[in-house]
Amino acid sequence: MSDRASSSSSSSPLPGSEADAVFPSSLASAECCEEHKEYLSLFCLDELEPLCKHCAADSHARHRVYLSAEAAIDCKEELKTSLTRLDVKIKHFEDAMQACRTASKCNQTDSHLTEEIVKEEFEKLHRFLREEEAARLHALMEEKEEKSRKAAERGNRLNQVITSLEDKIRLTERELHAGGEGSEYLQEYQDTMSSTECANTKPERIHRPLINVAKHLGNLRYAVWEKMKQIAPYSPVTLDPRTAGRAVRASSSELSRFHVTAGPWRSAERLVNEAESEHLHPHPGILAREGFSTGVHCWDTEVGETDRWTVGVAALSSLKTTTCEASPEAGLWCIRLKDGEYLALTTPTQTLDVGSSRHLNRVRVKLDLEGGTVTFVDVDTDAPLFTFTHCFTGAVYPYFESSSAGGGVAVLERRVKISVDSEDRPAKGNSPTEKGTAAKTARETDRKSVELCCAKKEEPGKPEGKEKTPNTRNIKKQSRKSRFNVSYHVSLNKALSNNS
């Protein structure tokens, strides 16, 4: 209440004429006390009820009592204060409700956009499979037509030979049943025999007359899958648009690249919402979707012609404040290009010895969590730039920042190499007989190896009969290795360009 209430509560109302002088009737309430039939001109702050002067003097002698008019004014002030607090509170809830509506609309837009992108990506895979199917069926049809053409040509030649042989057979039979004698018959006999001798040639042999079914069906799915890597590059780091700054736009179809806009991104393609809880900071930066807590990880970042950028790793907690400077103490291990100068964001910052004539185009970040190091390397020259040392206790995330309007950075993609390792794989060009011989030789070698492993070693002081012979079957199981080992090797774009 007001100070007037405090001053009124310091003394109790007086009965009689003194009370009338203190509390004039003009300020009294129109209602009367049921007990004393007096106007309710006073108000008890402790009991929160109106009083007459007799009630104030009797039952409320030690309570805080003051004029009703003053109480009404003070109560209105308190109600105004409470109303202001309620207005602020409802504003917070309305803001939260608006954030929910905005998030719901954004989710609908993002869901539709993501659905379209997923369909486009799968359509690329489907188109690749359809084209690959058509190419393989076309190759099969070509081989079929080639085999059919060669078979038809051979059939024509055989028909000609058969017709010629039939003519010779009829001629020979006619000469055989002829009744000639003497030199004339012998002369015709010699002519007939000479004509039959040319028929001793055998039909020509066609090399591989059948369709090579194994070539078309052997490891078909694996071969197509291996070829599919040409259209399926691998990105070691995927950006999380929900963690992007207010001036950052992450590409919807390529979450390994982001750009900086002149202002906040407001179109339907925007994947970042200021109302989202994941939105962390106002800086033009973005985090990766996945963090690392163990192992060794490496990724290359293309900065291009961007004149102001920052790359490195960051702890998630470091981005929840907007006042801290980028440093290892703040949970950021990064290097930066600013005002034409390359800096390591230590405390204080250190200038990197890049050279006045050099310009970094691609930067490699190598994170070794067990070793406690973050190393930066110039991809083009393979020259080390800087190394942070720190004992990491939690997950860290790849961090990217660009302050150039219209510029951006991108995580370079890598291509997947597939190799199959097999101890039983025969050499190329071996015939089935050679393959069988090789397999038999391999079995003989395994058997001899097992026999050698089972050979008993004599120990002094122990008779041979008490020695235990190892279980041959268990030894075979132990010595037998996996038939196929598939390993994935990821080569950088630089290595690919050098090979090409």
- DSSP labels for 140-167? HHHHHHHHHHHHHHHHHHHHHHHHHHHH
- Residue 253: per-residue pLDDT: 55
SS3 percent helix, strand, coil of the chain, rounded to 5, is: 45, 20, 35
Give the CA count within 13 Å in the CB-facing half-sphere of 241.
21
Grouping H, G, I as helix, E, B as strand and the rest as coil, residue 299 is: strand
Crossing angle for the helix pair 432-454 and 472-479, nearest 10 degrees? 120
Distance CA 280, CA 263 (A): 17
- Residue 265: per-residue pLDDT: 43
Handedness of CA 35, 40, 44, 48 (dihedral sign): positive
Distances (CA, A) of 341 to 75, 103, 307, 311, 337: 65, 40, 10, 14, 6
- Identify whether the C-beta of residue 235 lies closer than 8 Å to the C-beta of residue 256: yes
Crossing angle for the helix pair 182-197 and 68-176, nearest 10 degrees? 170
Handedness of CA 337, 341, 344, 349 (dihedral sign): negative
- Residue 358: per-residue pLDDT: 77
Distance CA 60, CA 64 (A): 8
- DSSP labels for 373-436? EEEEEETTTTEEEEEEE----S-EEEEEEE-STT-EEEEPPBEEEEEEE-TTPPPTT--HHHHH
Residue ranges per structural domain of the chain? 241-417, 420-449+469-499
- Residue 213: per-residue pLDDT: 92
Distance CA 144, CA 212 (A): 10
Grouping H, G, I as helix, E, B as strand and the rest as coil, residue 248 is: strand
This prediction has a pTM of: 0.60
pLDDT tens for the chain, residues 1 to 500: 444 444 444 334 434 434 443 444 444 445 777 667 676 777 787 767 787 866 766 666 667 777 777 777 877 888 899 999 999 999 999 999 998 998 899 889 889 988 998 999 999 999 999 999 999 999 999 999 999 998 898 889 889 888 888 888 888 888 777 766 666 666 777 777 777 666 556 777 766 788 899 999 999 999 999 888 888 888 888 888 888 776 666 665 566 565 544 444 444 334 344 444 455 455 677 889 899 999 999 999 998 888 889 999 998 877 665 556 788 888 889 999 988 889 999 989 999 988 766 789 999 999 999 999 999 999 999 999 999 999 998 899 999 988 776 567 888 888 777 776 655 454 444 444 444 444 444 445 444 443 444 444 444 444 444 444 445 444 444 444 444 444 434 433 444 444 44
Distances (CA, A) of 193 to 171, 183, 186, 362, 390: 11, 15, 10, 87, 101
DSSP alpha helices (H): ranges in 47-67? 53-57
Q: Considering only CA atoms, which of 290, 223, 235 is closest in space to residue 490?
A: 235
- Residue 250: per-residue pLDDT: 63
The CA R_g of the chain, rounded to the nearest whole Å, is: 48
The gap between the terminal CA atoms of the chain, to the nearest Å, is 86
**Residue 364: exposure state from Cβ atoms within 10 A (0-12, 13-18, ≥19):** buried
- Residue 180: per-residue pLDDT: 64
Phi-psi region of 336 (alpha: psi -120 to 50; beta: other; left: phi over 0): beta
| Token pair listed for 478 | 């132990």
Q: Which one is the CATH code of 241-417: 2.60.40.10, 1.10.10.1590, 3.40.190.10, 2.60.120.920?
A: 2.60.120.920
The amino acid occupying position 78 is E
Is the peptide bond preceding residue 348 cis, with omega within 30 degrees of 0? Answer: yes
